[in-house]
Structure 1
Amino acid sequence: MFWRPALSRPSSFSLDHLHPLLQWSLLILLAGSAGQVFKYFHVPAALFLGPMLVAIGFGVCGASVRLNKHVFRLGQGTVGVLVAHSMTMGVLLAAVHSWHVMVFATLLTVALSAVVGIGMARWGGIQSSTAAWGTSPGAASAMVAMSEDYGADSRVVATMQYVRVVCVVMIGALVSRLIGADAGGTDAHSNDALLQGVNLLNLSLSLLVIVVGVAFSGRIPAGALLVPLLLGGALQLSGLLQITMPTWLLAIAYGAIGSYIGLRFDRATIHYVWRRLPAMIVGALLLILLCAISAWFIAQMMDKDFLSVYLATSPGGLDAMAIIAIDTHSDVGFVLAMQTLRLFGVIVTGAYIARQVIRVTQRLA
């Protein structure tokens, strides 16, 4: 439970005095604008971070509006179908060819993240369950969405995940420059790079997969994410569906998840996160360093270029790592295959790892 300071007098400014319709209008306008501004400046996870930061500001300023959880779950389903888009035959063939190394690398990365999570819980002052999900090396938006279903504080998890995403992307770009890899045009891949051949039928079927998947997720843990992911992946691999996720749909989904989380922040929460931000940054850098060391050993084992393996083992940011891999002419198939395998591994084992982190932390306490 967050510490809540006693206020001797009401705040001089509070959005609570505004009509809810006006609050919603301002939130939608500012959140959408922030997402587009962040995207223009190539900020990682811009369509999530922009709305989340705006919603945090609204929450701190006393906004009374809250996003319905069903909208949040539809956002989860959209993220799941987006992940399913990466389940192509090429990715699966690449995974099969080097499955033993990929499984080893995935287990090693998950183990390293669990160790860092234990350290964050033990010495960083963060709740063990939240620390476990915050250090999980999966897609950041997916980990934030799943943490909500398992009782962790998604506000702190979001902060930890996206602090690491920013660090991963910045260091990934720096490593690419230091190695001297040739760079292509990022702009060519940043505008809907994953989506081609958009048509109304594929868009309608993709939306149907999201709605049906969420509707039938029931009481399955993280079902709003997993069911659309599995359903969409199966339909795409069978050739019955070419998943289509236009930018406006991703913007709405990421904005819904970001706003749902951001509106739950208040002054006490900001105070809690701010005091632990240095520990979050140290934890993120430590995990990146450990993964880089493991990437060097794996590159030696496979006789493969270090940059491709480094991007493949970087903890989180599948889309960002794919873009860097394309720009630097690395092995994009290998990067996507290992990142996707690890994402599925983290989704499947996330709850178990969180329980183990809690158990070890309690023993060390």
Structure 2
Amino acid sequence: MTRPPASHLALTAFLLLLGAGGGWSLAQLGAPLPYMLGSLLTSALAVAFFQHRFPKDYLFSQRFRMLFVGVIGVMIGAQLTPEVAALLPLMLVSIPAMALFVLAAHAMNYAIFRHLGGYDRSTAYFAGSPGGLIESITMGEAAGADVRLLTLMQFLRIIVVVALVPVGMSIWEGHPVGSASGLSLGPNAGGDWLGVAQVMALAVVGVALGVWLRLPAGQLLGPLALAGALVLTGLVEISAPPWLLAMAQVVLGTGLGVRFTGMTRAILVKGMGLSLVSVAGMMALGVALSMIVARLSGLPVDMLVVSFAPGGVVEMGLIALSIAANPAFVTLHHLVRIFLTVGELALVGRLRRF
């Protein structure tokens, strides 16, 4: 991979500094998940008003983002304990509910994008997928969907969920979630530089393993599995300072915000409206199923709501970390959601011949 031009690196550094400033400002206001939402907001605004000044073909560094996805994977893996493993049999109740969620959410989204948005059948079908971002774009392109609209709606799904779920969970919990709520990341929440080095090393090795083994969401699952295995042995104790999680939030939020590059305001406004309707419907469905599963299994409703929220695996794991809602358990549900969604995309897409 060629090294990005200096102008690209300079813009990335500026956007990250801008995002950190936006995150700090929201943290002072007691906002939920402030560093992710603040950086997402500032980078999206920068794209909306100044993208004509961006260097040609600017791309946010995916290798840099991958490193911090790995950091979050390590932090989630550090939460794997025998207590979490004991919850796995209860997935026999929640997994069938997840399958129902995938089918119902996809059907609802198809109707919204086809009839309210006016998208063609192929674009509406693949844009309405409640997961599997890369897979839906790849399959949709092969089926003749409008890749520009498909990509926009898939990224907006993640962005809108990331923006709304922390707010909703803060209202539910009665206090802000995320770093503004005094999140503890391990036995030594203050952490030290040795702990930071340990987390970064595990992130690098875990990402490499996940990619090499071609694991689903390998950038996250590789570090998660590596850290979890080490913690379960009882030989390793992983802790990290709160600022490392804040830094990971800034990188992820900025990376999401710059996804708006190249879109006209008219397309963005229409897409945002459709996405709000879609996400509201999916969240209502997810909350209803969460309450039913909670009644049948005894699992906490807040943990199930985050498990059914149709956002990205990384972002939902980060929110789960913020509310101490068994992030490993939540992440497993999102991996299952993506697996079920991709399978349904392939099967129905082949039968319908979009």
Q: TM-score, normalised by structure 1?
A: 0.70
Shift of 1:33: 0.2
Q: C-alpha separation between the residues in 1 aligned to 2:31 and 2:239?
A: 23
Q: C-alpha separation between the residues in 2 aligned to 1:82 and 1:149?
A: 30
User: Which residue identity does 1:203 align to in structure 2?
Assistant: V
Quick check: 1:129–1:357 contact (8 Å CA) kept in 2? no
1:46 to 11, 31, 34: 34
Alpha carbons of 1:309 and 1:47: their partners in 2 closer, same or farther (altered >3 Å)? closer
Structure 1: stretches of 5+ with no match in the other structure: 1-17, 137-142, 178-182, 327-331
Alpha carbons of 1:338 and 1:251: their partners in 2 closer, same or farther (altered >3 Å)? closer
Quick check: 2:78–2:228 contact (8 Å CA) kept in 1? yes
Identity over aligned pairs, percent: 22
Alpha carbons of 1:318 and 1:211: their partners in 2 closer, same or farther (altered >3 Å)? closer
Q: C-alpha separation between the residues in 1 aligned to 2:249 and 2:322?
A: 19
Alpha carbons of 1:242 and 1:147: their partners in 2 closer, same or farther (altered >3 Å)? farther
1:168-207 matches, within 5 Å, as 168-172=165-169, 176=172, 190-197=181-188, 198-207=191-200
Quick check: 2:105–2:285 contact (8 Å CA) kept in 1? no
Q: Deviations over 1:92-132 (max 9, x none)?
A: 11233x34223333333334443344345534446644432
1:107 to 93, 99, 106: 99
1:1-365 matches, within 5 Å, as 23-24=11-12, 26-60=14-48, 61=50, 62=52, 63-64=54-55, 65-96=58-89, 98-123=90-115, 124=117, 125=119, 128-132=125-129, 135-136=130-131, 156-172=153-169, 176=172, 190-197=181-188, 198-216=191-209, 217-218=211-212, 220=214, 222-266=217-261, 268-302=263-297, 304=298, 307=301, 311=305, 314-315=308-309, 317=316, 320=319, 339-349=330-340, 351-356=342-347, 358-359=349-350
Q: C-alpha separation between the residues in 2 aligned to 1:38 and 1:144?
A: 29
Shift of 1:148: 8.9
Alpha carbons of 1:234 and 1:350: their partners in 2 closer, same or farther (altered >3 Å)? farther
Shift of 1:347: 4.8
Quick check: 2:113–2:274 contact (8 Å CA) kept in 1? no
Q: C-alpha separation between the residues in 2 aligned to 1:231 and 1:225?
A: 10
Q: Deviations over 1:246-272 (max 9, x none)?
A: 333333333333333433433535432
Quick check: 2:23–2:35 contact (8 Å CA) kept in 1? yes
Alpha carbons of 1:117 and 1:92: their partners in 2 closer, same or farther (altered >3 Å)? farther
Q: C-alpha separation between the residues in 2 aligned to 1:246 and 1:85?
A: 14
User: Which residue identity does 2:333 align to in structure 1?
Assistant: R
User: Which residue identity does 2:334 align to in structure 1?
Assistant: L
Paired residues, number: 322
Alpha carbons of 1:312 and 1:21: their partners in 2 closer, same or farther (altered >3 Å)? closer
Alpha carbons of 1:192 and 1:186: their partners in 2 closer, same or farther (altered >3 Å)? closer
Q: Deviations over 1:49-88 (max 9, x none)?
A: 3223333333341211543322122133223223323322
In structure 2, the residue matched to 1:329 is none
